[in-house]
Amino acid sequence: YGDYNQKIDYVFKIVLIGDSAVGKSQLLSRFARNEFNLDSKATIGVEFQTKTLILDNKTVKAQIWDTAGQERYRAVTSAYYRGAVGAMLVYDLTKRQSFDHMSRWLEELRGHADKNIVIMLIANKCDLGSLRAVPVEDAQEFAERENLFFMETSALQSTNVETAFMTILTEIY
Residues that bind ligand GTP (CB under 6 A): 20-26, 37-40, 42-43, 68-70, 124-125, 127-128, 154-156
Distance, in Å, from the CA atom of 60 to the CA atom of 118, rounded to the nearest integer, reads 16
The nearest distance, CB 146 to ligand GTP, in angstroms, is 20
- Within 10 angstroms of residue 140's Cβ, the number of other Cβ atoms is 14
The nearer residue to ligand GTP, 5 or 130, going by C-beta atoms, is 130
State the Rg of the chain over Cα.
15
The nearest distance, CB 34 to ligand GTP, in angstroms, is 14
The nearer residue to ligand GTP, 20 or 59, going by C-beta atoms, is 20
- Within 10 angstroms of residue 25's Cβ, the number of other Cβ atoms is 22
Query: What CA–CA distances, in Å, run from 8 to 12, 24, 51, 166, 169?
Result: 11, 26, 11, 17, 15
67 scored as a contact of Mg ion (CB under 5 A): no
Candidates 28, 31, 43, 87; binder of Mg ion (CB under 5 A) is 43
Q: Between helices 136-146 and 102-112, what is the axis angle to 10°?
A: 20
Binding partner of residue 154 among ligand GTP, Mg ion, none, CB cut-off 5 to 8 Å per kind: ligand GTP
25 scored as a contact of Mg ion (CB under 5 A): yes
The nearer residue to ligand GTP, 13 or 24, going by C-beta atoms, is 24
CB 68 within 8 Å of CB 44: yes
Q: Catalog residues that contact Mg ion under the rule CB under 5 A.
A: 24-25, 43
